[in-house]
Structure 1
Amino acid sequence: MDLDDLNIFLTVVREGGVTRAATQLHRVQSNVTTRIQQLEESLGVDLFIREGRRMAPSPAGQVLVDYAERLLNLASEARAAVSDRTPRGRLRLGSMESTAAARLPPRLADFHGRHPGVQLELRTGPTGRLIAEVLDGTLDCALVSGPVEDLRLNAVPVFEEELVIVAAACHPPIADARDVRTRTLLTFEPSCAYRQKLEQWLAVSAPVPVVPERVVELSSYHAMLGCVASGMGIALAPRSLLASLPSGNSVSAHPLPPHLGRSTTVLIRRNGIPHPAVDAMAEALLAPPPAPRLAAVA
């Protein structure tokens, strides 16, 4: 049973016979007759009471009429929903944790207000893992550290970040890796793009590469900055993140050379997969941040 069979069946019911149904459907009579017979064979029942050229639905045919109408209506709704460019349905967005904390809150609130039909799911993680999840379809799109050079992905630049070495508040200025007092790195997992930049800085900023004494992997910037403030080690973070977190006032920020200290955050998605909600998210991220909403005064 397919939708075309059901449409032919309903047309025969409405027109009372094959001849008029064939005219309405722009088919030859033999084709309509064959399709009705095949439908009856597949269901194992007679769908019509045949009186000469006149055909009336049998009791089984009357039951099928209701189901056929509902199925064809649902199919029509599905076509309209799929072809409609209005953002709706589930949007699985991935983001680096620093971006989620410093950049996304006002934009996600604005997006939620503009697109109530979208069910937004946000998942944070390091760049490498987020790229893999967009490629395997676990995420619809993700905000990661660029550049991303994979022909399967489309990448749109959305934010520019200044990356800084973060140390304890009392730490003296850091010109290169030799100035770091505590050579413990406080980082995320190895697939984190910012961790890779920090390791690169240690390797190239001084005449002789500086080897970390220890690497401590943490799962949040709150924990990381707390450990930095206590003098446990150093970290790498966007300056925008320090400005957005209360703990950012308890650490010191030290600039990096421009080739390491500038980072572009890009929105990635699979090429060739239309998704109106992803289009709407890209538009929201590229727009100026919305002004804060003032609470109403009673």
Structure 2
Amino acid sequence: MDLDDLHIFRTVVREGGVTRAAERLHRVQSNVTTRVQQLEAALGVVLFHREGRRLVLAPAGHLLLGYADRLLDLAEQARAAMHGSEPRGRLRLGSMESTAAARLPGSLARFHVAHPKVQLELRTAPTAALIADVLDGRLDAALVCAPVDTERLDVLPLWQEELVLIAPATQGPMRSARELQTRTLLTFGAGCAYRLRLESWLAAEGVTPERIVEMGSYHAILGCVAAGMGMALVPRVLLSADPQAVLSVHPLGRADHAVATTVLVHRRGAGMPALQALADQLVADTQVVATVSGGTA
């Protein structure tokens, strides 16, 4: 078993099969298949179950994937260390969708110009999934909503977000959380930190919503709220990133539920020059925004 074998194996998993993995690796399919079979023979286990032309990761494959991620990450860090402190190589960043839309475009553009040797990959997902991927080595770092309950991560606070309720433009002032009892609430699925904030706020007010509709993007949520389908809880900064939606905005009645801190997390002891450079860029941009606004970003 060598690093090249692990790289091929991981690529097959990520691409969902040999055909796409071969395209990504610029190899012929038969070579990829042979290397996977050789890896299985060397380890004495079955890594994939073959269902026709489809590969399904076996339990041993799931176990190996975690080790492969860590070993390949360490190899990348070793290569970077041999070239000094210059940021280079692949940097896999995760982010909540709202943060990616409203906070990251300018910062990532500046980072891309300043560090052309870094291959940046960005994936959006809810907070719980992002933290799991960082801990399992599938992401190098992620922007998530605090608090982060783990001793295995380093945490860098970046932004304070004000969470607000959004409703159709015709909605009048909201006097009480009980007005949401009969309203449809639009949210992301389980694992979304802002959804947990909404549910916690409503539970504190003794409110159980009659209907929750899960959606996969903030663009869909904003559009459906504007069309009159329901209400949602979003960071206020997101509204400036999508000014086309015609909405009414309503502050929460509970300050302890209305403020959320966005933090950058990565595995403790797994820092590398590219990640440090990104953290420095985000901190610098956060300070600029705070100075311009005269307060906390």
Query: What SS does the aligned partner of 2:92 have?
Result: strand
Residue-by-residue CA offset, 1:257-287 (whole Å, 9 max, x unaligned): 2101001000000001131111111101111
Q: Which residue matches 2:101?
A: 101
Query: What SS does the aligned partner of 1:246 have?
Result: coil
Change (3 A) 1:105 1:137: same
Distance, in Å, in 1 between the alignment partners of 2:153 and 2:79 is: 28
Residue-by-residue CA offset, 1:22-50 (whole Å, 9 max, x unaligned): xxxxxxxxxxxxxxxxxxxxxxxxxxxxx
Tell me, yes or no, if structure 1 residue 235 matches structure 2 residue 232: yes
Contact 1:225 1:247 in 2 (8 A): no
Distance, in Å, in 2 between the alignment partners of 1:262 and 1:100 is: 18
Moved over 4 A (4+): none
One-letter code aligned to 1:224: I
Contact 2:89 2:117 in 1 (8 A): yes
Tell me, yes or no, if structure 1 residue 247 matches structure 2 residue 233: no
Distance, in Å, in 2 between the alignment partners of 1:156 and 1:174 is: 35
- Structure 1 residue 288 displacement after superposition: 2.6
Number of positions where the alignment pairs a residue of Structure 1 with one of Structure 2: 210
Tell me, yes or no, if structure 1 residue 120 matches structure 2 residue 117: no
Flag the structure with larger Rg.
Answer: 1
Query: 1:138-217 maps to which residues of 2 (within 5 A)?
Result: 138-180=138-180, 182-205=182-205, 209-217=206-214
Q: Which residue matches 1:82?
A: 81
- Structure 1 residue 181 displacement after superposition: 7.2
Distance, in Å, in 2 between the alignment partners of 1:133 and 1:218 is: 21
- Structure 1 residue 203 displacement after superposition: 1.2
Q: Gaps (5+ residues) in structure 2?
A: 1-76, 290-297
Change (3 A) 1:82 1:225: same
Contact 1:165 1:236 in 2 (8 A): yes
Distance, in Å, in 2 between the alignment partners of 1:107 and 1:79 is: 27
One-letter code aligned to 1:147: P
- Structure 1 residue 104 displacement after superposition: 0.3
One-letter code aligned to 1:196: L
Among the aligned pairs, what percent are the same residue?
Answer: 56
One-letter code aligned to 2:92: R
Query: What SS does the aligned partner of 2:216 have?
Result: coil
For the aligned residue pairs, the C-alpha RMSD in angstroms reads 1.8
Query: What SS does the aligned partner of 1:98 have?
Result: helix
Query: 1:7-22 maps to which residues of 2 (within 5 A)?
Result: none
Query: What SS does the aligned partner of 1:236 have?
Result: strand
Distance, in Å, in 2 between the alignment partners of 1:81 and 1:237 is: 39
